[in-house]
Amino acid sequence: MARYMMLYGCCFVLMGMCLSSAFAAEVPAGEGGILAMLGIDPKTIIIQVIGFLVVLLVLWKFVFGKVGGLLEERRTEITTQSEQLRADREELDRITAETRQRLADIETEAQAKIQAAIEQGNAERQQILTQARQEADDEVARARSEIQREKNEAILELRGVVAELAIDTASKIINEELNAERHQHIIDASIRRLPTS
C-alpha cells in the first residue's frame, strides 16, 4: 500500500513539473505567460512538489513503514487464524464423523442385543410353556389315576356292601316265611340301606 502511495506521489510531481514547463514554454518570457496570469509561480510549484516529496519520504520512513508492518503483521495473524479455523473445522468434521459412526455402531450393537434378548425370552417362554404343559399333563394323569383308584376302591366297597346286603337279605328270607308282600318289603328295606353317595 505504501508503495502505491509513493508511486502516486511521484506521478503527481512529474505531472506538475511537466505542466509548469509546458506553460512556461508557450508564453514568451517577457509577457509572464498563462501561469503568471493565473497567479501561479512555477518556482512555488517546484518548492511545493519538493516539500511534498520530503513529507512523503518522512511519512514513508516513520508512518507508512510502521503502518505497513502493522498491516502485514495483521494480515499474517488473520491468515494464521484462518488456517487455524480451517484446521479446527476439519478436526471438528472428523470428530463429528467419528461420533456419528460410533453412534451408528452403538445403535447396531444395541439392536443386536435387543434382538438376542427377544429371541432368548421367546425360547425361555417356549420352554416354560412346554414345562407347564408337561406338568399339567402329569397332574391330569395323576388325577385320573387317583380317580381310577378311588373308583376301584368305591366299587370294591360297594360290592362288599351289596354282598352283605345280599347275605343279610338271604338270611332274612330264609328265616321268615316268604310271601310276595313280605318279599317286596325286604327288598325295599335293603335298597333303602344302600349308601346314597
The number of beta carbons lying within 10 Å of the beta carbon of residue 161 is 13
* φ, ψ (nearest 5 deg) of residue 30: -75, -25
Residue 15 belongs to what domain range?
Answer: 2-117
Domain end marker among 71, 95, 117: 117
Domain end marker among 64, 93, 117: 117
Residue 141 lies in a domain: no
Confidence of residue 26 (pLDDT cuts 50, 70, 90): very low
Asked if residue 11 and residue 91 are part of one domain, the reply reads yes
Confidence of residue 29 (pLDDT cuts 50, 70, 90): very low
Q: Of residues 194 and 127, which shows the higher confidence score?
A: 127
Residue 53 lies in a domain: yes
Asked if residue 103 and residue 38 are part of one domain, the reply reads yes
pLDDT tens digits, 136-145: 999 999 999 9
Asked if residue 169 and residue 91 are part of one domain, the reply reads no
Residue 124 lies in a domain: no
Q: How far is CA 106 from CA 99, 110, 112, 130, in A?
A: 10, 6, 10, 36
Q: Please tell me the predicted confidence (pLDDT) of residue 120.
A: 92
Residue 129 lies in a domain: no
171-177, Cβ contacts within 8 angstroms, sequence gap of 24 or more: none
Asked if residue 174 and residue 103 are part of one domain, the reply reads no
Q: At residue 43, does pLDDT exceed 90?
A: no
Q: Alpha-carbon distance 144 to 146, whole Å?
A: 5
Asked if residue 155 and residue 109 are part of one domain, the reply reads no
Residue 158 lies in a domain: yes
Asked if residue 179 and residue 91 are part of one domain, the reply reads no
pLDDT tens digits, 108-133: 999 999 999 999 999 999 999 999 99
Q: Please tell me the predicted confidence (pLDDT) of residue 113.
A: 93
21-30, Cβ contacts within 8 angstroms, sequence gap of 24 or more: none
Domains: count for the chain: 2
Q: Please tell me the predicted confidence (pLDDT) of residue 195.
A: 66
Across all residues in the chain, what is the average pLDDT? 80
Residue 142 lies in a domain: no
Residue 126 lies in a domain: no
Q: Please tell me the predicted confidence (pLDDT) of residue 27.
A: 45
Asked if residue 111 and residue 18 are part of one domain, the reply reads yes
Q: At residue 9, does pLDDT exceed 70?
A: no
Residue 7 lies in a domain: yes
Asked if residue 103 and residue 54 are part of one domain, the reply reads yes
Q: Please tell me the predicted confidence (pLDDT) of residue 103.
A: 94
Asked if residue 169 and residue 74 are part of one domain, the reply reads no
DSSP H/E element including 23: helix 2-26
pLDDT tens digits, 70-85: 888 899 999 999 999 9
Asked if residue 82 and residue 27 are part of one domain, the reply reads yes
The number of beta carbons lying within 10 Å of the beta carbon of residue 67 is 13
Reduced to 3 states, what is the DSSP secondary structure of residue 178?
Answer: coil
Q: Which amino acid belongs to residue 159?
A: R
| In contact, 53 and 13? CB cutoff 8 Å | yes
Asked if residue 107 and residue 13 are part of one domain, the reply reads yes
Torsion of CA 108, 114, 115, 116, to 10 degrees: 110
- Identify the CA nearest to 197 among candidates 142, 149, 157: 157
pLDDT tens digits, 144-173: 999 999 988 888 888 777 777 777 777 776
| In contact, 68 and 2? CB cutoff 8 Å | yes
Asked if residue 106 and residue 32 are part of one domain, the reply reads yes
Distance in angstroms between the alpha carbons of the first and the last residue of the chain: 126
Question: Which region among 35-39, 51-55, 75-79, 151-155 has the lowest average model confidence (pLDDT)?
Answer: 35-39
